[in-house]
């Protein structure tokens, strides 16, 4: 029997897959528990439409991320903080601080988890920071730390 999986089923397939399973497994396990629906012509067409809409949505999100990445590459965020004579700042600058300043100075809202800092910034100067905007889209932001 051909079924369309509504949820991931271990050993059978992932959600959205059309798979052939034994009749008893489909009728007694998958369909009653809502894990699958029978793969009729109408259900398959509906699944294809749903996949096309999702692919279009992902393409739009990626295009928006690429556009945002181009904008981020052209700007710099200036963070002013207290520092000692040798350029070492009191405390540190974290990804949360960078996200807040980016929103405050340039009205760009980026989640702090997307900012890739290997360790908090502890010195004044200019630092390049990677921001992962989408699965394959990253941007480099210039962060200037001033005393």
Q: Report how far residue 86's alpha carbon sits from residue 132's, in angstroms, rounded to the nearest whole number.
A: 32
pLDDT digits (tens, 9 = 90+) for 11-56: 999 999 999 999 999 999 999 999 999 999 999 999 999 999 999 9
**What are the pLDDT digits (tens) for 100-127?**
999 999 998 999 999 999 889 999 999 9
C-alpha 45 chain-centroid distance: 29
Cβ count near 96 (within 10 Å):
13
Where are the extended beta strands (E) located within 6-75? Answer: 18-20, 36-38
User: What is the reported pTM?
Assistant: 0.72
Contact 130, 140 (CB under 8 A): yes
Q: Beta-carbon neighbour count of residue 109 at 10 Å?
A: 9
């Amino acid at each position: 029997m051909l079924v369309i999986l509504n949820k991931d089923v271990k050993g059978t397939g992932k959600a959205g897959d059309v798979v052939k399973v034994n009749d008893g497994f489909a009728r007694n396990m998958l369909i009653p528990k809502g894990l699958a629906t029978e793969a009729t012509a109408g259900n398959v067409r509906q699944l294809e439409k749903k996949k096309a809409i999702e692919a279009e949505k992902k393409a739009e999100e990626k295009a928006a991320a690429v556009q945002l990445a181009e904008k981020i590459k052209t700007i710099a965020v200036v963070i002013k903080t207290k520092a000692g004579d040798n350029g070492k700042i009191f405390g540190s600058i974290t990804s949360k601080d960078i996200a807040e300043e980016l929103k405050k100075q340039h009205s760009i809202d980026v989640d702090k988890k997307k900012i890739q800092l290997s360790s908090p910034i502890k010195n004044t100067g200019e630092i390049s920071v990677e921001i992962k905007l989408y699965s394959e889209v990253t941007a480099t932001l210039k962060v200037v730390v001033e005393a």
